[in-house]
Amino acid sequence: MDQSQIYVAISVVILAIVAAIIIFIAKKGRESGSSKLTVLSFMFMISGIIFGEDRSTGYGLIGVGLLFALLDMINKFKSNKYN
């Protein structure tokens, strides 16, 4: 990784932490909204796009994001089916 990619990685981590704090503060008292897996999936997919110069890293991050999105869909389907 060159120096610009390190700066981008640090920026993504800081942005993710700030977004998580904002989501958890805003989510108090509300039931609807994005789940934690949805937010995590979105962050991995965006990271995969940002680090797309290296194919294995980019596709790997997008794949992890897709996996989290599928797990979130399965969890929501199961919780709606049995309620």
Q: Is a pLDDT exceeding 60 seen at residue 82?
A: no
52-56 long-range Cβ contacts below 8 angstroms, 24+ apart: 53/5
Q: Crossing angle of helices 55-81/36-50, nearest 10°?
A: 160
pLDDT in tens, 18-44: 777 777 776 665 555 678 888 888 888
pLDDT of residue 5: 77
- Give the count of domains, the chain: 1
Q: Which domain holds residue 22?
A: 3-81
- Using alpha carbons, list the distances in angstroms from residue 1 to 7, 15, 34, 45, 63: 10, 20, 32, 19, 21
pLDDT score recorded for residue 11: 79
Has residue 9 got a pLDDT over 60? yes
Residue 67, pLDDT score? 92
Give the per-residue pLDDT at 32.
Answer: 59
- Mean predicted lDDT score pLDDT of the chain: 80
Question: Is 81 exposed, middle or buried, given 0-12, 13-18 or 19+ CB atoms closer than 10 A?
Answer: exposed
